[in-house]
Structure 1
Amino acid sequence: MGQVKILAIGNSFSEDATHYLHQIAAADGIDTKVVNLYIGGCSLEKHWQNIEQDARLYQYQRDGKATDKYVSIKEALMEEEWDFVISQQASHDSGIQETYYPYIINLYNYISECAPKAQRLLHQTWAYEIDSTHDCFVRYNHNQQEMYEKLCGAYKHAAHELGVKMIPSGDVVQKVRTKNPFRYEDGGMSLCRDGFHMHYIYGRYLLAATWYEVLFKNNILKNDYIPVTEFATGEVVDLNALRVIKECVHEVANSNNYKL
């Protein structure tokens, strides 16, 4: 297998998702180029506006690290013969179906034009923590379950409309939240670091593991990578917590037929 090239057109949630993906793949001997196009809070509507203006506003993040390079979506799409191109809705709009259209159709058609050989996927984002102070949590009545159910419906509808597979990160996050040591409502650890972005170790690992299972069809339970990050220096990784995450990732990615 040659180098596998993965492009995410997203925001801070795809930044979380791609942080460990290159390293997880490397642990199984797979060479990857993982690029995230980053604008904080960027919605599907804004992505499409940026395409129309050919705006060079996206920070180019490579293999989980930021760079000083800024590009347009067109530049990034034309840079490589991508194997996978993945996008998502901004978290605050994730459960509001009407915010997806017509922008997601336009965006994915544009991806097809610029990268016709790439497999297009949709990244299902996740609900905020139960006590999140995010300004837009009020849209979901400050209710995690309500936000989760609404985003599930919106992403499922969009994936069906586009005819693409979905990476079920939101489903995995919600499942892991029912397991110790991540039962936050009972005093356990939150998967979020600030009420909505993922924990630098466990949350980001969960997302990358989910992408890995779906994209590569490999069993994360057999992958021995232990996350290391400069954002949580000195924190000892709980291997039992990682095992819980891996088991949930593997179960969700397989039982719901998300593998490509």
Structure 2
Amino acid sequence: MRKILCIGSSFGSDGTHYVHDLAASAGVATKVVNLFLPGGMFEQHWANLQSDVPAYLYELNGQFTTEKVSLQTVLAAEDWDDIVSHQASGFTGMQDPACHFAALLYADLKQRVPNARLWLQQTWAFETGCDRDAFAKYDYNEALMYQELTTVYQALATEFNVGLIPVGTVIQNLRQTEAFNVAAGGRSLNRDGMHLDFVYGRYAAGATWAQTLLGLDLKTASLVPESPLVPDETTDSGLVALINEAVMQAKV
């Protein structure tokens, strides 16, 4: 069984939601845990690792639980194969203080779990039209935010010699297609301009995780993503195929 841990936030929830089920549909056994800390920054994750405070909501295989846990406890509970983290979404394009605290976090992780493969999740730019205050740091410009966060994540991955899960690139590339070009009347991959929508956005992220971490051939997967809000909504198989193609093209 492949054991995957994300030290994250709501963007970790978006990224990991479909990973377990995608893998299962292709016959791959996984345990996928996201430690949810609202707006979690590298600085907070590192500080929590030093203090062993139960600050995280435990999310297992894409489903929230009510359990609050500490990072130290979870790290010690399993022989993790892969450990992933990411910066708080509004600060992803800022080298400082991300670089300093990411360095501390990843150095500590390498000591505590030397056999685990370490990764960064490249998060995604907010969607054009999003009115979140954090988007003002990028002049409310989707392309600018994507460019700056990509530069930072690539620099961090190179500096710390860790892998990069290119979710942000997959989302941005999909936004250029007719189907997901919001400005041209396409479907949004976001549910609020910031978080990914429950069906196609989260599926795109999960497929990127599954291919990057597990080497999953998406052609062998048979998962049909469904909305928890509209369970009877028919999923468009053509859009799923388009997403799979975008993920395969973004392979690192």
- The TM-score by the shorter chain falls in which range? over 0.9
The match for 2:66 is 68
Structure 2 unaligned blocks of 5 or more = none
User: Per-residue CA shift, 1:134-188, capped at 9, x if unaligned?
Assistant: 1110000000000000000000110011001100000000000111210111111
Q: Does 1:171 align with 2:185?
A: no
- 1:94-113 maps to which residues of 2 (within 5 A)? 94-113=92-111
The match for 1:235 is 233
* Runs of 4 or more above 6 Å deviation: none
Contact 2:19–2:206 (CA<8 Å) still a contact in 1? yes
Aligned residue pairs: how many? 252
Q: Does 1:115 align with 2:113?
A: yes
Which of 4, 7, 10 is 2:8 aligned to?
10
Letter in 2 for 1:172: V
Contact 1:8–1:36 (CA<8 Å) still a contact in 2? yes
**Counterpart-to-counterpart distance in 1, 2:233 and 2:130:** 23
The match for 2:155 is 157
**Counterpart-to-counterpart distance in 1, 2:224 and 2:115:** 33
The match for 2:127 is 129
Shift of 1:229: 4.2
Give the TM-score normalised by the residue count of structure 2. Answer: 0.97
Identity of aligned residues (%): 37
SS of equivalent residue, structure 2 residue 110: helix
Shift of 1:116: 1.3
**Counterpart-to-counterpart distance in 2, 1:229 and 1:116:** 38
Relative distance call for 1:237 and 1:148 in structure 2 (3 A) is: same
The match for 1:33 is 31
Contact 2:86–2:120 (CA<8 Å) still a contact in 1? yes
Letter in 1 for 2:48: N
Contact 1:121–1:167 (CA<8 Å) still a contact in 2? yes
Which of 40, 57, 65 is 2:55 aligned to?
57
**In angstroms, what is the RMSD of aligned CA positions?**
1.0
Contact 1:198–1:204 (CA<8 Å) still a contact in 2? yes
Structure 1 unaligned blocks of 5 or more = none
The match for 1:83 is 81
Contact 2:178–2:184 (CA<8 Å) still a contact in 1? no
**Counterpart-to-counterpart distance in 2, 1:163 and 1:177:** 29
